[in-house]
Amino acid sequence: MNRRGATLVEMMIVTMLTAMVIGSLTGLFGFVTSRAAHAAAQAGAQEQADAVAESIAQTVSAATGCTVVTLSGSQALRCTMPAVSVDRDGDGRPDRWQLWQVSRRGRERFGTGGRVWFYQSDATGAFGSAGTWPWRAHRSDDANPVLLGADGVAVDADQGWAKHSGLSTSKYYLVTGLTFSVDSAQKSVTYTVTASAINRDDRSMSAGDAASDGYAVARTRTVSWRNWRK
Amino acid sequence: MRREKGGAMVFVLMLLAGVAVLLLATSSLTSASLSRQQRREADAATKNAFDGITDLVVARVQSGAITGASPLSGTVGTVPYEGTVVDDSAANPHTWKVSATLTYKGRPYTYSRVIPKVVVPSPYTYAIFAEPSLSFNSRVVTGANGENGDIGSNGALSLVSGSTVNGNVEAPAVSADGSLIQGTIFSSGSPITVPAFDGALRLKYLAANPQPVTRLIEKNLDLGNNEFWYAEGNYSISGSLKGKGTVFVDGNLEINHHLRYSSSSDCVAFVVTGNITLTQSDAKDLCGYFYCGGNFESKNLIERNLLRGSIVTKGNFVADALFTATNDPLIWKFPQEAKNLKLPGYW
């Protein structure tokens, strides 16, 4: 058999072509994974902002009244809830509120129950502490939720809402801002939840990347409290 | 040649495997995100649909189309539902419970809500109701824990600072003067008629028991079961009230000492054509549903307490010291009791 071998030029051409193909594929792979991570981060920011916004909306719409409380530069929304509540998901915190009684004129009365707070804080959940963790807290009165338990977390703070089960990380770690304003005449709350994929541990880009590579989402809603008849 | 083809094939297969893994990962992320969004969409769609169902039931209740337990079925948009409207008054007086199961994309979602019934207002469901106007000249505390303390008038209502109303305040014009009102101020309710004691009404009461009681100063009444007592002229009463029934006084009534129920099941209505007066320092507690054709007057700077009952006056309510009043919710819970007690307007 007469086997003809490859010439040096042929080998060099093959090597060059192989390198070009692998290089382009590698570049393509890197681009795709980078954009996928960007998209995932964007989706994560949207999802977390939507989740917080929806939780606030559900609470405000069931409240009998809301007010903004400020402490040490931190802002919180305090919602006064109806007297009768139900814990439907079994987490020990009320999540549904209902009619308390009917007035002598046949109008709904919701009474006055506990307070639900929304604010940002650090890992302790103490209102007034600087931080970007979104927290929800429950109290039976108008005092601020600042008490700390044995685990260093505020007693009134709803850990199940703020953190992943069994972990010490915030569930809404991409949320960067919560602002509230109350219109008592219109019985409504306007709030903005902002979330961003920049400067987070699982971010798809580093802090040094161009700002245009980052993604910030803001959810602004105006929700009325419907159960205002006491 | 075969070895070269084999090498290239391995290379291509490795590339394909890498791309496939990447595509699977992206697909998994996308589908997880999609399923979360679908769950949110289902929650929002079914909740909004149930809100629509409830609004529909409320409208039908107010129009009189629903007056008893009723089945529900239909479609809200593209969401079919089946449910019921049942009387929930045992748990919460004058309420319906609306329950429905909605089917969205093949899955059932169940919701329920309690809504109010149509209520015909009765003055005897208020702690104090004065027809012409209700102007307190001393502090008043009504009800407890936010309930059984509604006060109302068909005219102007004014409270003295330091008063507490555990309920609603209803009048065309309300002056709260910083009082604590645990309910709501309503100024647009329709007037509640308090019957005047005219000739026809007097005859009806006289026909119920034409034999007047012999004593005009009574202590410790035992009315048994639905007895009707008639006092011709001015009457004084005090002591313990026992049983269930009606005392009709065709004149003025003076409560000259404590007047208290002997048990939680006692219930007495006082239908007085003239004035009801409390002047004695020992007359601090009183019980009963009081219809007063004239004025209700608490005098001599004595603090008094309507432990359980209602004060309904055709004239004015006057109290010169702290007056505490708690409505007896019996008529609120069982409206037919107003007729059993022979209260004006219901008998």
ipTM of predicted assembly, 2 dp: 0.80
Write the residue in A29, A106, A229 that is nearest to B117 by C-beta.
Answer: A106
What are the distances in angstroms from CA A89 to CA A86, A154, B40? 9, 22, 16
Residue A9 has pLDDT above 70, yes or no: yes
Answer with the residue of higher pLDDT: A214 or B58: B58
Token look-up 């009461």 returns B205
Dihedrals phi, psi of A54, to nearest 5 degrees? -70, -40
- What is the rounded CA–CA span in Å between residue B307 and residue B284? 10
> For residue B267, what is the enclosing H or E element?
strand B267-272
- pLDDT the model gives residue A208: 52
- What is the rounded CA–CA span in Å between residue B122 and residue B338? 9
Nearest to A156 by CA among A45, A218, A76, A38: A76
Write the residue in B15, B33, B119 that is nearest to A43 by C-beta.
Answer: B33
**Which stretches within chain A are classed as H helix?**
8-62, 159-162
Write the residue in A54, A102, A112 that is nearest to B116 by C-beta.
Answer: A102
- pLDDT the model gives residue B3: 57
- Angle (deg, nearest 10), helices B2-62 and A8-62: 10
Q: What is the pLDDT of residues A144-153, one digit of tens each?
A: 987 777 777 7
Return all residues near B160 (Cβ < 8 A) that are at least 6 apart. Answer: B136, B137, B138, B139, B140, B177, B179
**Which stretches within B171-297 are classed as H helix?**
199-208
User: What's the rounded mean pLDDT across residues B87-104?
Assistant: 93
User: Which residues in chain A have their CB less than 8 angstroms from residue B182's CB?
Assistant: 112, 230
Q: How many CB pairs below 8 A link A and B?
A: 77
Q: What percent of chain B has pLDDT over 90?
A: 66
Contact across the interface for A230 and B147, Cβ inside 8 Å: no
User: In this complex, is the C-beta atom of A139 within 8 Å of any C-beta atom belonging to chain B?
Assistant: no
Contact across the interface for A98 and B114, Cβ inside 8 Å: yes
Contact across the interface for A101 and B168, Cβ inside 8 Å: no
- pLDDT the model gives residue B5: 63
SS3 category, B242: strand
| Most B-contacting residue of A22, A105, A219, A229 (CB-CB within 10 A), to test interface | A105
This prediction's pTM: 0.79
- pLDDT the model gives residue A92: 86
Q: What is the pLDDT of residues B185-218, one digit of tens each?
A: 998 878 999 998 888 888 899 888 777 777 777 8
pLDDT band for B117, please (50, 70, 90 cuts): very high
> For residue B338, what is the enclosing H or E element?
helix B337-340
- pLDDT the model gives residue A2: 58
Nearest CA in chain A to B190: A105
- pLDDT the model gives residue A214: 58
Contact across the interface for B183 and A32, Cβ inside 8 Å: no
- What is the rounded CA–CA span in Å between residue A193 and residue A53? 6
Q: Identity (one letter) of the amino acid at A3? A: R
The CA distance from A164 to the nearest CA of chain B, in Å, is 17
Q: Supply the mean pLDDT for chain B.
A: 90
- pLDDT the model gives residue A200: 45
Name residues 82-121 of chain A within 8 A of B (Cβ). Answer: 83, 98-99, 101-109, 111-112
HEC profile of B189-209: CCCCCCCCCCHHHHHHHHHHC
Contact across the interface for A112 and B33, Cβ inside 8 Å: no
pLDDT band for A34, please (50, 70, 90 cuts): confident
First CA to last CA distance, chain B: 113
> Of the given ranges (A177-181, A196-200, B108-112), which has the lowest mean pLDDT?
A196-200
User: What's the rounded mean pLDDT across residues A190-216?
Assistant: 65
Q: How many CB atoms lie within 10 A of CB B2?
A: 6
Q: What percent of chain A has pLDDT over 70?
A: 90
- Residues of chain B by 3-state class (helix, strand, coil), percent to 5: 25, 40, 35
- What is the rounded CA–CA span in Å between residue B108 and residue B46? 9
Residue B297 has pLDDT above 60, yes or no: yes
Nearest CA in chain B to A29: B19
Tokens found for residue A112: 């006055």
Q: What is the pLDDT of residues A111-158, one digit of tens each?
A: 999 999 999 999 888 899 999 999 999 999 999 987 777 777 778 999
User: What's the rounded mean pLDDT across residues B111-125?
Assistant: 92
- Residues pairing with B283 in the sheet: none
Q: Supply the mean pLDDT for chain A.
A: 86
User: Which residues in chain B have their CB less than 8 angstroms from residue A29's CB?
Assistant: 18, 22
Tokens found for residue B9: 């094939």
Answer with the residue of higher pLDDT: B244 or B49: B244
